[in-house]
Chain A
Amino acid sequence: MKSYDLLELAGRNLRESMLRNALTTAGISIGVASLVAMLSLGAGLQDLANRRLSKSGLFDTVYVTSLRDFREGDSDQRKQERKVDVSKARALDDGARKDLAAIPGVVEVSPEVRFMGEVRYSDATHAAFVAGLTQSAKENESFDGMKGRFFTSATAPEAIVQLDFAKDLNEKDPNSVIGQEIVLRYAERHSMAGSSSPGAVADDSNPNASLGGGGGFSVVRKEQPLKIVGIIEQEPFGGMRSISRARVFIPSQLVENLNMMQYSDMRGLTGDAAGEKTYLALVVRVASAGKVQQVQDAVKKLGYRTFSILDATKGLRRFFTVLDLFLGIFGSLALAVASLAIINTLVMAVLERRREIGIMKAIGASDGDVKTLFFAEAGAMGLLGGVFGVILGWGIGRAINFGTNLWLQRRDMPPETIWASPLWLIFAAIGFSIAVSLIAGLYPAARASKLDPVQALRYE
């Protein structure tokens, strides 16, 4: 039988038992709606997480550290890294910085600098983590809603403070600290070529009094006056970088000029390259997120450890795959129940149309014609159920999203889209609905095709 004849006959047969077939189709629709609802929620939550991460401005960034530094973790990669002879591992020094900057696609290389300092303001001294920020950080969305302004230049003696720190400085009117001067006290690193006892401490009145030598360095207490130019409320880079949790931010070039002592300097003392200036971490900014993997591979070839948000999102993708799987299984339960309704409907149809099947066989229908006719009816119910189910599921999603935003609004929280029905999901749901319906139609169709025409013609 030609396919248009098949579809026409299937449509006619479905119309004949309109109520029963409509109820079965409604059952499939509810099943598909439940599946679409569950998977849309999964997709929506994944989108929400991705949006959050992309707002952090980390998608175009590769975080580079030296294999000399120990990293915890049980992953195979970490275990492999720990086997490396640290004395032979490349140091993250100025040479490395130049090499990284030369990699195609890299637009900026800056050290990740964070240190503990003391901030004096209006006769009080506060301990605070201080971090360097590049001028490019100004484009990060974290600074969109800031009070005041960003640094005027990469060397300007200016500071941006976290709102909490501004409250520490002036609890009653934290905004009033903008324009005020603070004094940053920090430990400056002085290289001491030829020193035999590195790491000695001196005060700024006598910097040469340190016990140095053998490629070590001395540490000198220094002060730097800074003008507060801005206050931010949220942690920059989505709280994902080590500098994110600093309370005071100063321009990155200024930090480098201040030459303050880093944890990596202490680590360097124990290594063969004692006294060399090394970086704890370098942040490589890439031209576009699409080039991150390529740059990351190039950095690894240079002998460094890398981390990018791509690595983090790999884990995130795994999590959402598992979540989607579970949501899909729960969503499919309703569809499984609906498939029983299809079997019931079609078995009833086989019984009711027994004589009709006999007539069709008597006038030339083959077993295959009868089978495909019942298949087509099952498939048509699946298609209709799938389409209506997707519409219903989409409606449920909109309603839940609306309700969620109403709830968020009442708690003074910004609205969020926790629901996403991507095109693939819509087509997959309809396809799945048809597939389940066809599987459900297997038994009734086989039963119909095997009917003995002589017996069927006798049936009243």
Chain B
Amino acid sequence: MIWQNYKLGNTISKTPEPVTLWKTERCIIEISSDTLAVPIKLDDEEKGYVLHGHGKLLLDAIVETGEGAIGKSIEKELDEPFLMLGDTKEMQEHFTESSKEDFAAMDYENQQEFLDKAEDLCSRFFREREHNHQSFDGDHGFIFAFPNEAENLDILVAKNSKLVYKAEDVVFVSNKDKVVLKSQGEVVCKNNGKSVVIKKDKSVIIKKTLF
């Protein structure tokens, strides 16, 4: 059973109210009201959605070390269709039926145009990667894929306090106080107050801090 066998659902819904898709101490993903949503199905079971509305991703990709803070907060406007895989049961409660006006509001001439865009996104995500059904299920958290300016996909994988974010210029991995950040040629690892910074000039700084 592999993800390449996915199918998009026929019913396109919308969110009547803003919805917080994911929220932790470091990350928030929100979508606005009137966000369009088409389900991604595998063996007739909903495994996620392609969503298109006005949303926002906020992620504190910052590591505080004894040398000072490294990294920045990522603030990404979610104005393009993006993909979300994970437990859909809770999401289903937030959806209502969509209308022609909802498609027009998102600059779509009709429903098919949105479905084509959703299909294109899924195709890029699933066919460019080898996803195994056993390796990911709703119980294993969420996967988000956001198109970026370089026409690639920024990937965010989240489960409880664990988070992995990979974009063009940054890779951020965190699990509570354990953090790894690769940004602008620097690599920072922090665990339990101990930090290792590998700088651009290949110098390595190892420090222990109280914070």
Do the two chains bind? no
